[in-house]
Amino acid sequence: MLTNSNKTLVCIFGPTAIGKTRVSIEIAKAFNTEIISCDSRQFYKEMKIGTAVPSDKELAQVQHYFIQHLSIFDNYSVGDYEKDALKKINKIFQHKNILCLTGGSGLYQKAVLEGLDHFPEVDKNIRKKLNTIFENEGIKPLQDQLKRLDPEYFKTVDIQNPHRLIRALEICIGTSKSYSSFINTNKTSNRDFRPIKIGLTADRTIIYERIEQRVDNMFDNGLLKEAQSLYKYRNLNALQTVGYKELFEYFDGKLNFEEAKAEIKKNTRRYAKRQLTWYRKQKDINWFEYDTNVDKITDYIKTTLPVKS
């Protein structure tokens, strides 16, 4: 049950490259408020270009939290984020009635809005065996096994992230049940705020065009040099992400440059598709076209507010 429905968390969701940063900044400015980021890829200060961190000009317009606040050497879980984000949200709500949450990491959004699901303890040797498979054979055997054991979760998980794959597989193997069976998609929120969910979307062709342009811009802005500076740390969990892994394979001689660039675009398109699959499961998102005038979105938000803010 909500205990303070006068506090509103405006959540801006959508696939990668759809324009969430621009819209969230305009909404935050309209309501004179601040932004909580839930994009886990943008937490790390060493990964600015490859994760499309907002520009210095954008960050200067509105106060943002949880952007480049960590190092790739830090151990930081979604549980840590849930605790830290709720603490920050509650602090801001002491002097503001509206706050924005934005980002493309579905699990981190869920952590803020509903809390994490609880999974049973399993034999730690399972994870060790899965890590050995990954180290010796690469990521594909993990992908194939998860697709077989839990096809539902396979549709939404970032299949390029070995940490996520191994976490799901150890639950599947250790419990003889699917990982998705432990995910409560209809959990009732007990948060001290009322969420309003805004989704940005577009035809898939437009989304893919925007992804192509974003990746090209990343290379123009120095992605190759950034990846080179991180290559020696390639096994860190934070770097198991699209945009870096493909370039590490280029540095290894497994791909040529154009192949690596094409792989980044392909894997980013797949990531966007999985994000959309995740969002479609949520029935309470209010969808707007990506190029909708932001005034129309803010007007809609105003009609949902319990009190004038």
Whether the CB-CB separation of 16 and 206 falls below 8 Å is answered with: no
Per-residue buried b or exposed e for 284-295, using 16+ beta carbons within 10 Å of the residue's own CB: ebeebebebebe
H or E element: which one contains 37?
A: strand 35-37
pLDDT band at 309 (very low <50, low <70, confident <90, very high): very low
CATH number of the structural domain 124-182: 1.10.20.140
Nearest Cα residue to 236 out of 1, 70, 29? 70
**Alpha carbon distance 159, 149 (integer Å):** 14
pLDDT of 185:
52
**Rounded mean pLDDT of 164-181?**
93
Share of the chain above pLDDT 90, in %: 79
Whether residue 1 is predicted with pLDDT greater than 50 in this model: the reply is: no
Q: Which CATH number fits domain 8-117+184-304: 2.60.450.10, 3.40.1280.10, 3.40.50.2020, 3.40.50.300?
A: 3.40.50.300
User: Average pLDDT for residues 54-75, to the nearest whole number?
Assistant: 97
Pairwise pLDDT comparison (104 vs 257), residue with the higher score: 257
Read off the pTM.
0.84
Model pLDDT, residue 3:
45
Whether pLDDT at 5 is above 60: yes
Q: State mean pLDDT over 158-174.
A: 91
pLDDT at residue number 4: 55
pLDDT band at 298 (very low <50, low <70, confident <90, very high): very high
| Domains in the chain: boundaries | 8-117+184-304, 124-182
- Give the pLDDT of residue 187: 56
Kindly state the tokens that stand for 287.
């969808």
How many other CB atoms sit within 10 Å of the CB of residue 135? 10
179-193, 213-227, 247-261: range with lowest mean pLDDT: 179-193
Query: By mean pLDDT, which of 25-29, 125-129, 297-301, 304-308 is the weakest?
Result: 304-308
> Are the C-beta atoms of 83 and 16 separated by less than 8 Å?
no
Nearest 5°: phi and psi at 239? -95, 5
Per-residue pLDDT, 184: 65
Per-residue pLDDT, 212 = 98
pLDDT value at position 206?
Answer: 98
- Comparing 217 with 189, the larger pLDDT belongs to 217
Instruction: Summarize the chain as % helix, strand, coil (round to 5).
Output: 55, 10, 35
CA 86 from chain center: how many Å? 17
Q: Which amino acid type is present at position 139?
A: I
Burial (Cβ within 10 Å: 0-12, 13-18, ≥19) of residue 1: exposed
- Average pLDDT for the chain: 93
pLDDT higher than threshold 90 for residue 190: no
pLDDT of residue 278: 87
Average pLDDT over residues 144-172: 92
Question: What confidence tier does 186 reach under pLDDT thresholds 50, 70, 90?
Answer: very low
